[in-house]
Structure formats: C-alpha cells, structure tokens
C-alpha cells in the first residue's frame, strides 16, 4: 500500500522479494496473525525507508503521510482480502461497462480495452468544449489529454470507481450522447 498525501494506492503482487523490491515507496503489507483466519498489517522493508536509509531511501515521507497509511490500513483490515477482491472486481466491471456504453455513442470512441479504472475517450469535438457543457449537467468531464498528449487528439481520460452509481454512469452517457 502506498500512502502519499491525501491518497493511497493498493498494489497486489506475488509475495516475492524481486517484485516488492521494485516498489519505490513506503509499503504496508498484510500477514496472517497467530489467530486462525485473522490478518494484520505492518510496514514491509522498513530498513529501506527514509527513516532508516536517509539519502539512499526510495521514499520521502513524513509523519502526516503515515497517518494516511494508518487510515488506509484500517480500511483494508475492515475490507479483508475478500472485500478487496470484490472492490477490484466492482471497479473493473463498472469502468468497462462505462467504456462500452460511451463507445456506442456516435461521436465518441474508446480506443483501448485493456484497462482497470481509467480509460481514454476520443471525441470529434474539443474536450474543453465538451467538459464546459458537461458542467451544465453538474458532471465533471474527463481530464483533457490533448494538452499533454497531442498525438491522442481530442481525447479525455475518464475514471470510474466503486463510488460511481449506475445512475451517475448513465447520466454521463446521456449527456455525452447529446454533447459529443
């Protein structure tokens, strides 16, 4: 788990040092306790943190960042392995559903199918114009990619998580159908 600023990220990988050693930041990992079926969380590879390795560390974090990590560790412990798996599956299903219904629109194209929660949408109009119009529907549009990635043309990056209801997703689709 990465705990930087007001956010965190969850990384699932094989329990092999060659993978974990590549992660450049502070890590919190799950481990079974002495109680059957119970799990706990602790810092992994503490010796490589800025507290131990100083200028040779792979992270640069302070106390405040660790507080976010504690919050995330509580969240993960409440969710448990099954809950985290369900969360990932929900995000995957909702984001792919959203991409598929946007891709059906006449003036929108989702060029990639291999993604987790974020996907680009290519429009036939400038993204800035579409995003301004979406605001009139109280919808924040996707991040305009045409500025940083001009080779993608009029494309925006959309993100769908477990927090987005089907009603919200369909409201976006309906608005884009009229605007795009």
> What distance in Å separates the CA atoms of residue 97 and residue 94, rounded to the nearest whole number?
5
- Reported as type and span, the H/E element at residue 64 is helix 63-103
Q: Is the pLDDT of residue 81 over 90?
A: no
Segment 21-80, tens digit of pLDDT:
777 667 777 788 999 988 887 777 777 776 666 677 666 566 566 677 778 778 888 888
Task: Give residue 35's pLDDT.
Answer: 94
| CATH number at 91-179 | 3.90.1150.10
Q: Is the pLDDT of residue 1 over 50?
A: no
Report whether 160 contacts 88 (CB < 8 A). no
Q: Is the pLDDT of residue 17 over 50?
A: yes
Task: Give residue 46's pLDDT.
Answer: 73
Report whether 145 contacts 126 (CB < 8 A). no
- Beta strand spans in 27-154 (E): 27-32, 39-44, 108-109, 118-123, 143-144
Mean pLDDT across the chain, nearest whole number? 86
Summarize the chain as % helix, strand, coil (round to 5). Answer: 45, 15, 40
Segment 123-132, tens digit of pLDDT:
999 999 999 9
Domain ranges in the chain?
Answer: 17-79, 91-179
Burial class (CB in 10 A: 0-12, 13-18, 19+), 173: middle
> What distance in Å separates the CA atoms of residue 90 and residue 23, rounded to the nearest whole number?
25
Task: Kindly state the average pLDDT of the residues 154-170.
Answer: 97
| Structure-token pair, residue 170 | 């369909």
What is the share, in percent, of the chain residues with pLDDT greater than 70? 82
């Amino acid at each position: 788990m990465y705990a930087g600023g007001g956010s965190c990220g969850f990384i699932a990988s094989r329990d092999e040092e060659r993978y974990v050693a590549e992660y450049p930041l502070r890590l919190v990992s799950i481990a079974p306790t002495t109680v059957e079926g119970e799990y706990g969380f602790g810092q992994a590879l503490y010796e490589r943190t800025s507290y131990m390795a100083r200028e040779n560390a792979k992270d640069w974090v302070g106390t405040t960042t660790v507080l976010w990590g504690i919050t995330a560790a509580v969240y993960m412990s409440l969710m448990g392995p099954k809950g985290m798996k369900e969360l990932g599956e929900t995000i995957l299903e909702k984001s792919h559903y959203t991409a598929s219904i946007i891709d059906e629109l006449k003036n929108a194209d989702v060029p990639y199918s291999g993604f987790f929660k974020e996907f680009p949408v290519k429009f036939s109009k400038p993204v800035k114009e579409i995003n301004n119009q979406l605001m009139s529907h109280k919808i924040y549009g996707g991040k305009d990619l045409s500025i940083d990635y001009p080779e993608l043309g009029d494309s925006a990056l959309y993100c769908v998580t477990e927090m987005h209801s089907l009603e919200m997703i369909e409201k976006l689709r309906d608005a884009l159908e009229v605007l795009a």
